[in-house]
Amino acid sequence: MATMAGYCKLEVVGGVAALQLESGGTTFGRKGVARLRCGGKTSVNSVRSLGGDGGFHILASVRNCGSWKQVGDLGRRGFKGFNVVAMQGDGSVGQESDGGRGVSQGKPIPVLVIGGGGREHALCHALQRSPTCNEVFCAPGNAGIGKSGDAICVRELDIKDSEAVIEFCKKSGVGLVVVGLEAPLVAGLVDDLADVGILAFGPSAAAASLEGSKNFMKRLCDKYEIPTAKYQSFTDAAEAKKYIKEQGAPIVIKADGLAAGKGVVVAMTLEEAYAAVDSMLVSSEFGSAGGLVLVEEFLDGEEVSFFALVDGENALPMASAQDHKRVGDGDTGPNTGGMGAYSPAPALTPEIEQKVMETIIYPTVKGMRAEGCKYLGVLYAGVIIEKKNGLPKLLEYNVRFGDPECQVLLIRLQSDLVQVLLAACKGGLNGVQLEWTEEPALVIVMASNGYPGKYVTGTRIKNLDVAEVIAPGVKIFHAGTTMNAEHEIVATGGRVLGVAAVGKDIAEAQSKAYKAVHQIDWPEGFFRNDIGWRAVSRLQGAHSS
């Protein structure tokens, strides 16, 4: 990547005007610098001088680049965390090291993220840190994504209209599309983009059936001997109830199709199971998604989230994570889309990770290829480690990054995400290794009162700026927010914020995240008070022993 000598640009996170040092003059922003671009010796000297009077703070991760190693001095002058994108010009700095080993650098490209939730905010935050990316668009995005400067939100782009997405990509020179939401994947957006030669990270509509139909996933498991819970499928409520009575409780009832993470009921009594069947097959609360119901055996054990990047042939495991599905403390109440998560998950030992790859991920990739629908994208396996034997079984597949697991994974990722995803799109993951910070991460979801049932929207959320700087390593991801006429952040959804933090250990990450949560002024919201309790208990047990 090359720039003119004597050029420097600081792109600002918080919507403040960017700093440009050229022959014409200087403009100073005051906070939130996301990315530093420099070219030429004069620019380095100019940038170094900002330590005394520039007023920049809240900066993200330092990378020293070639002969511009001295730029790191800014960190010691109170500029915590530069993300320096190496340029070549007068006083060449050379290329920055690979963001992921085995991945080659390429020309910087604009990237488009499809979606507007917490997962997509985390994706934008990770993508904009990449030296391979010169601009991130997010459609439709949300108020927090735009305000943070993690992406340019394109609210007017109809992501259900493939032709509109294609036109935008061509007009904006988009070199990579990352589809965060499951619905556009199932609808075939990636297929449509591929037809016109636009690279997209995500599975085809046929491959997205792994999430779009739980019955399809179960039949694949049967055919390729992938360990999972035994089950039966039903379209008739009476037949389903008859089978439930034969099996007894506890038992699991699942809607076959997409139900926004809420189409699964773990019934502890027969009455709960019957009610779940009626809600899906009789009253049609989930629409067509509940027209077919799976009744599964209840598996006793600890659930973990396992992610792998897949290029159609090869699978690359990501760091482990564990989420909290139940709405209440102590894992009580109904299932949700996720009330918090942390990474890594101590329950997923290297031995179990290898077992998951060998018995679940690799057979799935091979099976999908054999079925004529190669899988390309992130494969998110909900896995349970059975208490009775310590072995993993597949609970379900998602065909996109999990939410809120994506948030804790991507703030730990050290590799160049754009380069890695491009490698996947081109079938080049063989030999790629991902690099992670050893610091654990934890995220707490703040939701509207009433969630996962009926909730009120339009409530004001205050003090977010203070919360995000309450401790080093805190990041607030927006999932369901917008801006009102008074330019205030207001809630628009059930799960609204993801307050994340990294720490030297999981206890410190947990402490930082809750410290930030308690700074947020939102009486109409709630959160669980015990996110990360399993990992913290393990850590305390290790210390005591």
CA distance 291 to 306: 28
Q: Is residue 98 part of a domain?
A: no
CA of 227: how far to CAs of 215, 218, 219, 319, 356, in Å?
A: 15, 10, 12, 22, 10
CATH number at residue 481: 3.90.600.10
CA distance 357 to 486: 51
Per-residue pLDDT for 206 more than 70? yes
CATH number at residue 408: 3.30.470.20
For residues 469-488, average pLDDT: 95
Q: How many CA atoms lie within 13 A of 179 on its CB side?
A: 34
The residues, ordered by sequence, that sit 6+ positions from 195 with a Cβ below 8 Å of its Cβ are none
Kindly state whether residues 468 and 484 are assigned to the same domain.
Answer: yes
* Residue 539 pLDDT: 86
> Scanning the structure block, which residue is given the tokens 């792994």?
210
Domain count of the fold of the chain: 4
For residues 60-88, average pLDDT: 34
Kindly state whether residues 274 and 330 are assigned to the same domain.
Answer: no
Per-residue pLDDT for 186 more than 50? yes
* Residue 263 pLDDT: 85
Q: Is residue 365 part of a domain?
A: yes
Per-residue pLDDT for 8 more than 80? no
Q: Is residue 50 part of a domain?
A: no
Q: At which of 436, 468, 492 does a domain end?
A: 436
For residues 459-477, average pLDDT: 96
At 300-313, the pLDDT tens digits run 999 999 999 999 99
Kindly state whether residues 135 and 252 are assigned to the same domain.
Answer: no
CA angle 175, 179, 185 (to 5 degrees): 125
Q: What is the mean pLDDT of the chain?
A: 83
For residue 41, name the pLDDT band (cuts at 50, 70, 90): very low
Kindly state whether residues 304 and 293 are assigned to the same domain.
Answer: no
Kindly state whether residues 404 and 320 are assigned to the same domain.
Answer: yes
Cβ(312)–Cβ(202) below 8 Å:
no
Q: Is residue 154 part of a domain?
A: yes
Residue 532 identity: G
CA distance 402 to 175: 24
Question: Is pLDDT larger for residue 13 or for residue 416?
Answer: 416
For residues 254-277, average pLDDT: 89
Q: Print the domain residue range for 313.
A: 300-436
Q: Any idea which of 67-81, 205-219, 236-250 has the lowest mean pLDDT? A: 67-81
Kindly state whether residues 305 and 413 are assigned to the same domain.
Answer: yes
% residues pLDDT > 90 (the chain): 73
CATH number at residue 151: 3.40.50.20
Q: Closest by alpha carbon to 382, among 365, 370, 399, 368?
A: 399
Kindly state whether residues 391 and 518 are assigned to the same domain.
Answer: no
Residue 25's region, left for phi above 0, alpha for psi from -120 to 50, else beta, is left
CATH number at residue 247: 3.30.1490.20
* Residue 545 pLDDT: 62
For residues 73-100, average pLDDT: 34
Kindly state whether residues 379 and 341 are assigned to the same domain.
Answer: yes
Rg for the chain, CA atoms, rounded: 24
Kindly state whether residues 418 and 489 are assigned to the same domain.
Answer: no
Q: Is residue 199 part of a domain?
A: yes
Question: Is pLDDT larger for residue 46 or for residue 219?
Answer: 219
Q: At what angle do helices 270-277 and 237-247 cross, to 10 degrees?
A: 160
> Scanning the structure block, which residue is given the tokens 């994504």?
145
Q: Is residue 143 part of a domain?
A: yes
For residue 522, name the pLDDT band (cuts at 50, 70, 90): very high
Q: What is the DSSP letter of 96?
A: P
Kindly state whether residues 488 and 411 are assigned to the same domain.
Answer: no
Q: Any idea which of 243-257, 281-295, 386-400 has the lowest mean pLDDT? A: 281-295
Q: In a 3-state reduction of DSSP, which class is residue 535?
A: helix
Q: At which of 436, 463, 497 does a domain end?
A: 436
For residue 47, name the pLDDT band (cuts at 50, 70, 90): very low
At 107-160, the pLDDT tens digits run 799 999 999 999 999 999 999 999 999 999 999 999 999 999 999 999 999 999
Q: Any idea which of 284-293, 314-323, 508-517 has the lowest mean pLDDT? A: 284-293
* Residue 345 pLDDT: 93
Q: Is residue 277 part of a domain?
A: yes
> Scanning the structure block, which residue is given the tokens 């059930």?
494
Q: What is the pTM of this model?
A: 0.79
Q: Is residue 60 part of a domain?
A: no
Q: What is the DSSP pairing of strand 340-343 with strand 322-323? A: antiparallel
Kindly state whether residues 235 and 326 are assigned to the same domain.
Answer: no
* Residue 106 pLDDT: 61
Kindly state whether residues 460 and 515 are assigned to the same domain.
Answer: yes
Cβ(263)–Cβ(254) below 8 Å:
yes
Q: Any idea which of 90-99, 108-117, 187-196, 429-438 has the lowest mean pLDDT? A: 90-99
Q: At which of 416, 436, 456 does a domain end?
A: 436
Question: Is pLDDT larger for residue 362 or for residue 55?
Answer: 362
Per-residue pLDDT for 17 more than 80? no
